[in-house]
Amino acid sequence: MSEKFKNLINGEWKDSKSGNTFENRNPAQWNEDLIGIFPSSDKEDINEAVAAAKAAFEKWRLIPAPRRGDILKVVGDKMLERKDEIAYERTREMGKVFAETKGDVQEGIDTAYYAGSEGRRLFGLNAPSELPNKMNLSFRVPIGVGGFITPWNFPMAIPTWKIFPALVCGNTCVFKPAELTPKTATTLVEIIDTAMREVLGRDYIPGVINIVHGKGRIVGEAMIAHPDIDLISFTGSTPVGKRINEVAGASLKRVSLELGGKNAQIVMNDADQELALEAVLWGAFGTTGQRCTATSRLILHKDIYDEFIGKLVKKVKKLKLGYGNDKGIDVGPCVSEAQRETVNSYVKIGKEEDKAKLVAGGDYAKDDALSKGWFYEPTIFVDVKPGMRIEQEEIFGPVLSVIKCNDLTDAINILNDTPYGLSSSIFTKNVNDAFVAIRDIKAGITYVNGATIGAEAHMPFGGVKQTGNGHREGGWTVYDFYTEWKAVYIDYSGKLQRAQIDNY
């Protein structure tokens, strides 16, 4: 019998109202490892969860923010105690290697402690009044019920980036995780709910955190259209983000969108090549290329083009594919059969439509042990030209496109010429070139002599252009998304004072 999981609604773990379910399987051992059975929910389950979150909000917003922060510190402690176990299950569920899933859990822990401490800040601002005997204050107030819709590639870190700041600010949560990673999401919610019960004791408020499993086009759609959800925070693909913006925007919900990327690493002719090689291997093939910040383009200076590619291909051919919980594995499987088919279809486009030159990979991994899962060979196309589809469109798999550039200006123009703008990187020893790149690259994140991936939890995270709608997660910036500013004027003059009129 496989384990059966439930939704958490109003403090109670329960099946979907319809009783429908879906399976979650290990992408490295598809037929052999059934992880669990999860509720496939409907609009009615969302309605119940939103009603619970709405009622809970009136109590939760009155819990002092430092106390809400105390809960998050306990959440961080519990995640730390269970770090290896959560990472193991994460790898089993999603496929990336154990060292990386540990990093994903650590990012959640860091976010818990950061958000926990924010309970004692959440600073407001005061400004002098233009009138005598009058005081002006402004402070943050929570917004209400938040709807959180997340992808499968960082199933621990991404929900924590959203839910922890939302909670410490005094909002309540309805969480719909990706269908491919429901177990990690359930573990996270179970930890939050347990910490709430422990810290609040008899004052525990059911309905502050709710999780509703199911399909995006059913559960997700019900959330974005729900009149009692006040804000939506979404991370996922750009087409779904656009749809969410249209529907949620129609009722003027606050919407934060973190979407796709087509990130590039530039390597100049003066760069430390060994370092740049290590970075591109990690950036392009870590998490099997399924990161929003993955290096999917490598822009090489013409002077080092052939030499660098020669070294890179040798290293890529040595990468060891396998189940990420086994020792010595570099690259896990694609998350699903459908994702692997998308990768393969882009490889076909690269060969047949773009006519780029394939120098590594380009097929399903055929080894016996690998045939049990959705493995794809780490793939490199060279002589890719700006504008080709594999150079412009997000593939979200282990495929790297290499493009030749003439100089720094050319490199930056190539890097900027996509619809996306999430992460970027330049390898150079020339300090002037580095600063020009920092200034001129159009992306939310730029690394100098580092891979395109590896964001830190206390820094702003997000992108420009079609990567998002201008909000940032992480660090101090996210608190603006989860609060409204309230301006307060206190007049202690004892008379009616009219701003702009009596004083000018």
How many residues belong to the chain? Answer: 504
* 221 contact partners, CB below 8 Å, separation of at least 6: 247
- 149 is an interface residue for ligand NAD by CB under 6 A: yes
Q: Which CB sits closer to ligand NAD, 148 or 427?
A: 148
Nearest 5 degrees, angle CA 165-CA 169-CA 172?
A: 85
Contact call for residue 244 and ligand NAD (CB under 6 A) = yes
Beta carbon nearer to ligand NAD, 258 or 433? 258
Active site residue 258: yes
Per-residue string for binding with ligand NAD, 472-501, x by CB under 6 A?
A: ------------------------------
- Is 422 a binding residue for ligand NAD by CB under 6 A? The answer is yes
Closer by beta carbon to ligand NAD, 101 or else 428: 101
CA distance 82 to 102: 10
Q: How far apart are CA 401 and CA 403, in angstroms?
A: 7
94 phi/psi in degrees, rounded to 5: -120, -20
**Closest approach of ligand NAD to the CB of residue 234, in Å:** 7
Strands 125-128 and 134-142: antiparallel
Helix (H) or strand (E) segment spanning residue 101: helix 98-118
Instruction: Exactly one of 258, 377, 391, 394 is catalytic; name it.
Output: 258
151 is an interface residue for ligand NAD by CB under 6 A = yes
Q: Is residue 147 involved in binding ligand NAD (CB under 6 A)?
A: no
Residues 255-294 that bind ligand NAD (CB under 6 A): 258-261, 292
Specify the DSSP class assigned to residue 149: E
- Binding residue for ligand NAD, selected from 101, 150, 245, 425, defined by CB under 6 A: 150
When the beta carbons of 50 and 268 are compared against ligand NAD, the nearer one is: 50
Residues 482, 25: Cα–Cα separation, whole Å: 34
Give the phi and the psi of residue 89 in degrees, each rounded to 5: -65, -35
User: Total number of residues binding ligand NAD (CB under 6 A)?
Assistant: 30
Position among 104, 118, 179, 354 found at the interface with ligand NAD (CB under 6 A): 179
Amino acid letter, residue 411: A
Cβ distance to ligand NAD smaller for residue 142 or 155: 155
Percent helix, strand, coil in the chain, to 5, is: 40, 20, 35
Alpha helix positions (H), 201-260: 221-225, 238-250
The closest alpha carbon to 391, from 419, 360, 370, belongs to 419
User: CB-based contacts of 125: which residues, under 8 Å, 6+ apart?
Assistant: 138
The 197-226 site mask, x for binding ligand NAD (CB under 6 A), equals -------------------xx--xx--x--
Nearer to ligand NAD by C-beta: 199 or 334?
Answer: 334
Exactly one of 93, 100, 107, 292 is catalytic; name it.
292
Among 235, 336, 418, 446, binds ligand NAD (CB under 6 A): 235
In the block, tokens 């994460």 appear at: 90
β-bridge mates for residue 233, sequence order: 148, 256
Shortest spacing between CB 163 and ligand NAD, in angstroms: 14
* Both tokens assigned to 393: 């469109």
- Whether 377 is catalytic is no
Angle at Cα 477 formed by Cα 61 and Cα 282, nearest 5°? 125
- Asked if residue 178 binds ligand NAD (CB under 6 A), the reply is yes
Instruction: Work out how close the CB of 151 gets to ligand NAD at its nearest, in angstroms, rounded to a whole number.
Output: 3
Residue 420's SS3 state is strand
Pick from 467, 469, 475, 482: which binds ligand NAD (CB under 6 A)? 467
Binding residues vs ligand NAD (CB under 6 A): 149-154, 176, 178-179, 216-217, 220-221, 224, 235-237, 240, 243-244, 258-261, 292, 394, 396, 422, 463, 467
Catalytic sites, residue numbers: 258, 292
